[in-house]
């Protein structure tokens, strides 16, 4: 069961564009999300680092100031010094609270707790001194000093910032790797989807092009069937309707030509017989002028008979789809020598020579059709060759194909006429050297017979003269049998 993705080329294109864009949009959204989260994390790290540095600086300053205030209060017992200590204590408590709120390390957190406990003990000692009667001086016990605890805090804060910065770098690297793998995964996916839809879009169009070329080449037996979007299928159906109409018209043309050809043969035979009787003087002697008229009648009737026979052969070839009397082995080399010998009488008065490079080649085929192909190629070369020139004939095997090349030294075939020379009744603008005018069907019949043998015939680029090449398969596949 075939799945129809869309009903038109336009819808299929839009669907393909949408599916290709989805992975790219997913990658873009994921990138924006990851970068945004990383930016928030970096902003928080910078803010925490600034707060930690400021809090550690304030803690160090206030702790040392409080220790001095406590020592001064013990000596002087001045209440103002105690009030100053209490004010400094509030600032220290606030700084400790801000630093403790940050995600600091366990060592730094332990030092902060130890500082808080030492400061509580120091404050308790000061309150004891304040409750004592009199103003005797008191010396601060080293067990209550804050300096030895507070000095490592800035270093610990710095280490925590460095560790946090390294953690941030690791996270940045993880995000980079993730985005890289995401690009590696999604980019091929987008390219694969683009390739799939490119094939889905272009393949029906290529099939349409092939169908049109088949119709242009006259292959009307194969139905036109194009799968794909609805508009392409409809166009394929219209091409198939055109193929059927062309096939009907072609059949009507063949029937008409066959009827005309057969109808022409009867009066043509009568004309030839009558001209032969006059030439043989059956009805009496002829003067010089009458003999010249009889000669013209004979030559014209012979030319007309040749044209009718060529037309019949061409019609018969068009009606076939494969050789009718296929033989497993046909000696092409021997057949070429026979055809050359046949044309010796036509070449001798014009001093045309044939240079042969013929290797033994045997292929399956219909002998008469292959002989006709060789004969038409050589006749065409003789017709357009200047007098006292050379025709080259080459036969060999190339790429598992039997290739026959016929090259003359004539005016050649123009580039614009290289396809037209195989059309029925086409006559080149170059004047033929042969006194007998051609029918314009020789190369058309040759092309048809070559195609029946699943081969090819073409005009090869040549610096001088015409070069025609025929390539025929050395073996016939099961379908062709």
Q: What pLDDT does 1 receive?
A: 41
Show pLDDT as tens, one digit a residue, over the chain (481 residues). Answer: 444 545 677 777 787 778 778 877 887 888 888 888 888 888 888 888 899 899 889 989 988 898 898 888 888 888 898 899 899 989 989 988 888 888 877 888 888 888 889 889 888 888 888 888 777 788 888 888 888 888 888 888 888 888 888 888 888 888 888 888 887 887 788 788 778 877 777 787 788 888 888 777 667 777 877 777 777 788 888 888 888 888 788 777 777 766 776 677 777 777 777 777 777 777 778 787 877 877 887 777 777 777 777 777 777 766 667 777 888 899 999 999 999 998 998 888 899 999 999 999 999 999 999 999 999 999 989 988 899 999 999 999 998 899 999 999 988 888 777 777 887 777 665 544 544 455 677 888 888 889 888 899 999 988 888 999 999 998 865 445 4
Query: Full-prediction pTM beyond 0.85?
Result: no
Measured distance CA(422)–CA(444) in Å, rounded: 5
- What is the structure's pLDDT at 319? 66
**What is the layout of strands, in order, in the sheet containing 401-407?**
353-358, 390-398, 401-407, 467-473, 456-459
Q: Which of 69, 81, 74 is nearest to 139 (CA)?
A: 74
Q: Which two tokens stand for residue 389?
A: 């020139």
Distance CA 109, CA 113 (A): 6
Buried b (16+ CB within 10 A) or exposed e, 175-195: beeeeeebeeebeebbeebee
User: Quick one: residue 218, left, alpha or beta (phi over 0 = left, psi -120 to 50 = alpha)?
Assistant: left
Place of tokens 């220290």: 92
Between β-strands 456-459 and 390-398, what pairing exists: parallel, antiparallel or unpaired?
A: unpaired
What are the DSSP E strand ranges found in 46-86? none
- Six token digits for residue 32: 């924006």
The top-level CATH class assigned to 322-473 is alpha beta
At 210, list the tokens: 């092939």
From the number of C-beta atoms within 10 Å of its C-beta (0-12, 13-18, 19+), residue 469 rates as middle
pLDDT of residue 7: 66
CATH second-level architecture of 230-315? Orthogonal Bundle (1.10)
Sign of the C-alpha dihedral computed for residues 76, 79, 82 and 88 taken in this order: negative
> Where along the chain do its domains lie?
9-187, 230-315, 322-473
Q: What pLDDT score does 6 carry?
A: 53
In this prediction, residue 217 carries a pLDDT of: 66
- pLDDT digits 0-9 by tens, 270-289: 777 777 777 777 777 878 78
9-187 under CATH 3.50.50.60, yes or no: no
pLDDT tens digits along 430-479:
544 544 455 677 888 888 889 888 899 999 988 888 999 999 998 865 44
């Amino acid at each position: 069961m075939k799945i129809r993705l869309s009903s038109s080329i336009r819808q299929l294109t839009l669907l393909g564009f949408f599916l290709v864009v989805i992975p790219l949009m997913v990658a873009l959204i994921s990138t924006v999300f990851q970068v945004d989260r990383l930016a928030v994390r970096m902003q928080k790290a910078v803010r925490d680092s600034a707060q930690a540095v400021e809090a550690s600086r304030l803690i160090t300053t206030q702790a040392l100031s409080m220790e001095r205030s406590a020592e001064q209060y013990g000596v002087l017992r001045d209440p103002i010094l105690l009030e100053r200590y209490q004010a400094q204590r509030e600032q220290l408590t606030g700084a400790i609270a801000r630093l403790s709120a940050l995600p600091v390390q366990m060592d730094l957190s332990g030092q902060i707790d130890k500082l808080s406990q030492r400061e509580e003990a120091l404050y308790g000692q000061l309150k004891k001194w304040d409750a004592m009667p009199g103003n005797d001086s008191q010396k601060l016990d080293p067990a209550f000093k804050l300096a030895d605890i507070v000095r490592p805090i800035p270093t610990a804060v710095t280490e925590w910032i460095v560790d946090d910065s390294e953690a941030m770098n690791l996270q940045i690297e993880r995000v980079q790797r993730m985005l890289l793998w995401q690009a590696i995964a999604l980019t091929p996916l987008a390219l694969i989807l683009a390739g799939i839809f490119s094939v889905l879009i272009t393949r029906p169009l290529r099939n349409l092009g092939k169908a049109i070329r088949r119709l242009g080449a006259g292959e009307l037996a194969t139905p036109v069937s194009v799968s794909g979007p609805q508009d392409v299928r409809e166009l394929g159906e219209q091409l198939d309707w055109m193929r059927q109409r062309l096939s009907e018209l072609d059949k009507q043309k063949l029937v008409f030509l066959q009827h005309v050809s057969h109808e022409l043969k009867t009066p043509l035979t009568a004309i030839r017989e009558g001209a032969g009787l006059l030439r043989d003087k059956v009805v009496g002697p002829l003067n010089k002028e009458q003999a010249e008229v009889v000669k013209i009648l004979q030559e014209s009737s012979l030319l007309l008979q040749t044209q009718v026979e060529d037309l019949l052969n061409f019609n018969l070839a068009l009606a076939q789809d494969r050789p009718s009397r296929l033989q497993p082995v046909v000696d092409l080399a021997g057949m070429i020598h026979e055809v050359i010998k046949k044309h010796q009488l036509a070449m001798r008065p014009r001093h045309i020579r044939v240079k042969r490079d013929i290797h033994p080649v045997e292929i399956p085929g219909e002998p008469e059709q292959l002989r006709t192909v060789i004969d038409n190629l050589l006749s065409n070369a003789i017709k357009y060759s200047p007098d006292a020139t050379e025709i080259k004939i080459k036969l060999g095997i190339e790429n598992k194909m039997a290739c026959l090349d016929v090259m003359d030294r004539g005016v050649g075939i123009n580039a614009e006429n290289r396809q037209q020379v195989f059309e029925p009744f086409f006559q080149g603008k170059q004047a033929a050297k042969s006194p007998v005018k051609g029918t314009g069907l020789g190369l058309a019949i040759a092309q048809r017979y070559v195609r029946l043998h699943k081969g090819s015939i073409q005009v090869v680029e040549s610096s001088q003269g015409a070069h025609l090449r025929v390539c025929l398969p050395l073996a016939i596949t099961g379908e062709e049998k």
